[in-house]
Chains A and B, each alone.
Chain A
Amino acid sequence: MMRYEVPQLETDRLILRAHRESDIASEIEFFQTDPSKMVGGPKAADDVWRYISMMMGHWALRGYGLWALEEKATGTYVGRAGLWMPLGYDEPEIGWTLMNHATGKGYATEAAQTARAYAYDVLGWDTAVSLTLPENTASQAVAKRLGASLERTFESKYGPAQIWRHPSPSDLENGGMEAYA
């Protein structure tokens, strides 16, 4: 029997949990809109379903993955964030994507900060990157708030993409999040 586990985490305003089938409707809607172009969209409904199922399977294969983000106050699905390393990636990524109704509230920063702490403290990573498209200024702002700095641009399957390097665990110990506020 194969067992795999998706741990549940909490931040001030969010629950980080495993995806459920009922989250997929929001993702299907999101992937029909223009903002999804920043994260590989648009995608057809069946592709979105497979994408979310693939995210769940990533947990089984890697022991970590992307969490579904649920707004504590309302129980609403607001997006996903977590740790991502499908085959073909050079190194593991901290990623985040919010549904359109949930942007501008600091949720991505809040969730990614918790995901990064999990990567460093629980999984023992000693570094991490985040990838964004050059035109995705909202995502770059999150990377900056997290203390990451632009390392280089490379040619991804979606065109040029930026690699943002996060502060290392020791950088964070020395500076703390206050240093980046």
Chain B
Amino acid sequence: MSLTLNIPVIETERLRLRAHREGDLDVIAAFFADDRSAFVGGPKNRAESWRVISGALGHWALRGYGMWLVADKTTDAPIGGVGFLNPEGWDEAELGWHMFNGHEGKGYAYEATVAAKSYGATHFGIPAPISYIAPANTRSVALAKRLGATYERDGEVLGNACHIYRHSKAEAA
């Protein structure tokens, strides 16, 4: 029996959450070339960024859920990433998000994360995920709080100390 994998698409008012594609590489490589990407494992070169895309796609196959590429609903241009991460070394499924260069401050991360969280509760059986957040990443701390998440404990992921936030239980839609 062959494996066929479907990665769902979610649309919000301004955004489309979809599977990563090779055509997203320029934007993702630019993001990972920047020191800002240190919060999500960067910096990385272009070949390593390609492996980030393929790794994100493969996560869906291994776990049944994963990260979406957040695209502009009108142009389909990549804006960021959002979704559920649970690779080796994670305590449990994490709700994660990052916005690519130039797309912060517009409420996109909030809009995408609300949609992803709701979808996870309904389809993936993840009602109250955690988020690993570096305390220095004040923008993400603010978004976690805006999403209704609360600080739960100090933790560590891949040897990096971080704060673990717990999201409130989402109602399955």
Q: Do A86 and B88 touch across chains, with their CB atoms under 8 A apart?
A: no
Q: Do B7 and A54 touch across chains, with their CB atoms under 8 A apart?
A: no
B4 CB to nearest A CB, Å: 5
Residues of B within 8 A of A60 (CB): 5, 19, 54, 57-58
A14 CB to nearest B CB, Å: 15
Q: Which of A19, A24, A53 contacts B55 (CB 8 A)?
A: A53
| 29 A-B residue pairs with CB within 8 Å | A2-B18, A2-B19, A5-B3, A18-B3, A19-B61, A19-B62, A45-B89, A49-B89, A50-B87, A53-B62, A54-B58, A55-B54, A56-B58, A56-B61, A56-B62, A57-B55, A57-B57, A57-B58, A57-B59, A57-B61, A58-B54, A60-B57, A61-B21, A61-B54, A86-B47, A86-B51, A86-B54, A87-B50, A87-B51
Chain A residues bordering chain B, tally (CB within 8 A) = 32
Contact residues, A138-152 vs B (CB, 8 A): none
Q: Do B57 and A61 touch across chains, with their CB atoms under 8 A apart?
A: yes
Binding site for B on A (CB under 8 A): 1-8, 17-21, 24, 28, 45-46, 48-50, 52-58, 60-61, 86-88
Complexed CA–CA distance, A21 and B25 (Å): 26
Complexed CA–CA distance, A21 and B65 (Å): 13
Q: Do A7 and B62 touch across chains, with their CB atoms under 8 A apart?
A: no
Q: Do A5 and B53 touch across chains, with their CB atoms under 8 A apart?
A: no
With both beta carbons as reference points, the residue of chain B lying nearest to A6 in the complex is identified as B3
